[in-house]
Structure 1
Amino acid sequence: MTHASQTLRQRGALILTTLLALMVWGPAVSGAESRSFDLYIAEAPPLSMLDQSGLHGIVGDATLEAATRAGYTLHFVEVPWARAQQNVRKGVDKLIIPLSRRPEREADYTWIAPIMTMDRAFFSLDKRVQSMQQARETFARIAVGRGSAQEQKLRAEGFSDAQIYPFEIGENPAQLLLMGRVDAWFNGIPETQAIWRKLSNRTLQVSPSLMKTDLYLACSRQCDALLVRDLRAAVETLRKDGTLERIKNAYLKEP
């Protein structure tokens, strides 16, 4: 065998080995890039929602963009908020938005990244309070999302069971106010304003912000470390390049 023939055979063997390696590793790499995860989402516009037009709210759009940049696909899951939290807590690799980071929740989730800060206030048709104490003394019945950070806050502040009227997130507590079934609604300011604009022209009495928390993209306590790292880095990129602020402004500056 000539030296040239031997060299060609060696090159051919090398090419064949490379092709075989690609056949073996190619699907695995492709599968990793298209990994899909469940994302539990609350119907709480403009923070998060499943709109027919494809809008997902401030936290929803930011999460979807971060996942896309990180190479993941998301399967949106919408169930009552208390059940969503339970499913994520007990599950593995399940994502959830928008979740307020509170001390009583700290050990139950993997906190991937904050998306925005949320201010909460009391909304009423005829009484404006200035403090939690005044709210306890003024309102006989307060609408609040079942299983929400707001409900936990009221209970921690000493509001009685009779004062707290939990509703399922996704229902319309603004109607409860209009019908006189509750005296006040304790909720996030931008979410309440967005809902009220679509329902009534009546002026709401709004307290100062009496609760402030960061809204997070979170995951089950047992969560893939690579998923956490990738999404955390992607959210930070969205923050640095101004995408998060543009998404927020697109919703909050709507007429």
Structure 2
Amino acid sequence: MILGWILSFICLSAVPLPLTIKLLKKLLRPLVVFTILPASTAIYAASKVTLIGAEVPPFSWQQENEVVGINMDVAAQAAQTMGYQVDRKILPLKRALSTLSHQPNTLMAGLARTPEREHLYTWIGPVVSIKVGLLSWQEHIKASQGKQLMAGSAIALDDAGSIASEAPHYRAKLCVHYDTPMEAWLKNHGETDYIAVTSEHACLSLLAEKLVKHWFTEFHLARYLTSKSSYPVENLVEHEVLIEPELYLAGGLNMSSTDIEEWRMALEQMAEAGDIDKIIKRYVADY
């Protein structure tokens, strides 16, 4: 076919033959190079995978020059058993989701599955379940008084007057990280009195400075961030767990069914061997 095209080109062209041959060599040179390279470059590309995650310790975060966390370690171990070279990155949530959609050979280690995200990504399999609920900041009242207030019980008049005089002026009832299962839960339950921020650190600051009444987040994450901050962790009060979503290993929509099945099998084998539980205990002893 190509030979016929070349002969037709020579016969029909008004360009002198030597010049025609020179032009054809120039046109065909990239084609020759292309036929030599793809096999090796394709193998190289397939042997690497990039694992991305948001800054949500103890599940994934940047610790000095290393990316660590429960989800990152689980996904990395699964990748290594499959023969992949692993690159880990922490990105802001919005950029991480965009990268997951558009960058090949990329997986997100620990993405919550929501109705809004269901059709946007490939849900390979769950890595870990999390506990999400309301947290408050206890500073000027005793623990027993705080429990009574949350339960709506009556307390002594002297105590009530003291608490009322120190009552903060909240900007909102709740603080939540935007575009998360927590914000989706609030919307689904008709809650509008909340502030959505771009980081969990911001919610911690708003709660500790008494600008919001509750922080709606994952309990392990809240304890870890508070312990690493200048705020006393003993002031953080956990209330009932409201939701227990699972964090998934997720990929883009262009993943092949073969790749999806291989990743699922790797995660299932790790779970059966107890490897995932071991990784969790490295970060949280009493998970």
State the TM-score, normalizing by the size of structure 2: 0.68
Question: Hey, what does 1:156 align to over in structure 2?
Answer: 188
Q: Does 1:169 align with 2:181?
A: no
Is contact 1:55–1:61 with CA below 8 Å preserved after alignment?
A: no
Correspondence 1:232-247 to 2 at 5 A: 232-247=264-279
Question: Hey, what does 1:117 align to over in structure 2?
Answer: 129
Matching residue's letter, 1:46: P
Matching residue's letter, 2:76: L
Q: Does 1:213 align with 2:245?
A: yes
Q: Which has the higher contact order (CA 8 A, sep 6+)?
A: 1
The Cα of 1:89 is off from its aligned counterpart by: 3.3
Separation of aligned partners in 1, 2:171 and 2:132 = 16
The Cα of 1:85 is off from its aligned counterpart by: 1.7
1:31-74, CA deviations, whole angstroms, 9 ceiling, x for partnerless residues? 37x62233221111111112236451111110111111111123
Q: 1:224 to 1:51 in 2, by over 3 A?
A: farther
Correspondence 1:51-66 to 2 at 5 A: 51-52=63-64, 54=66, 56-66=68-78
Query: SS of the counterpart of 1:50?
Result: strand
Identity of aligned residues (%): 24
Q: 1:196 to 1:218 in 2, by over 3 A?
A: same
Q: 1:30 to 1:44 in 2, by over 3 A?
A: same
Question: Hey, what does 1:73 align to over in structure 2?
Answer: 85
Separation of aligned partners in 1, 2:282 and 2:101 = 32
Question: Hey, what does 1:50 align to over in structure 2?
Answer: 62
Q: 1:196 to 1:170 in 2, by over 3 A?
A: closer
Correspondence 1:77-116 to 2 at 5 A: 77-116=89-128
**Root-mean-square deviation (CA), in Å?**
2.9
Question: Hey, what does 2:15 align to over in structure 1?
Answer: none
Q: How many equivalent residue pairs? A: 222
Question: Hey, what does 1:179 align to over in structure 2?
Answer: 209
Query: SS of the counterpart of 2:210?
Result: coil
Question: Hey, what does 1:11 align to over in structure 2?
Answer: none
Is contact 1:177–1:185 with CA below 8 Å preserved after alignment?
A: yes
Separation of aligned partners in 2, 1:231 and 1:62 = 11
Which stretch shows the higher mean deviation, 174-183 or 210-219? Answer: 174-183
Is contact 1:120–1:189 with CA below 8 Å preserved after alignment?
A: yes
1:81-138, CA deviations, whole angstroms, 9 ceiling, x for partnerless residues? 12322332355443112111223322111111111111101111146658xxxxxxx9
Question: Hey, what does 1:31 align to over in structure 2?
Answer: 44
Question: Hey, what does 2:163 align to over in structure 1?
Answer: none
Is contact 1:91–1:222 with CA below 8 Å preserved after alignment?
A: no
State the TM-score, normalizing by the size of structure 1: 0.76
Is contact 1:93–1:224 with CA below 8 Å preserved after alignment?
A: no
Q: 1:226 to 1:73 in 2, by over 3 A?
A: farther
Whichever of the two has the greater Rg, that structure is: 2
Q: Does 1:230 align with 2:242?
A: no
Matching residue's letter, 2:44: G
Query: SS of the counterpart of 1:108?
Result: coil
Structure 1, gaps ≥5 residues long = 1-23, 131-137
Question: Hey, what does 2:172 align to over in structure 1?
Answer: 140
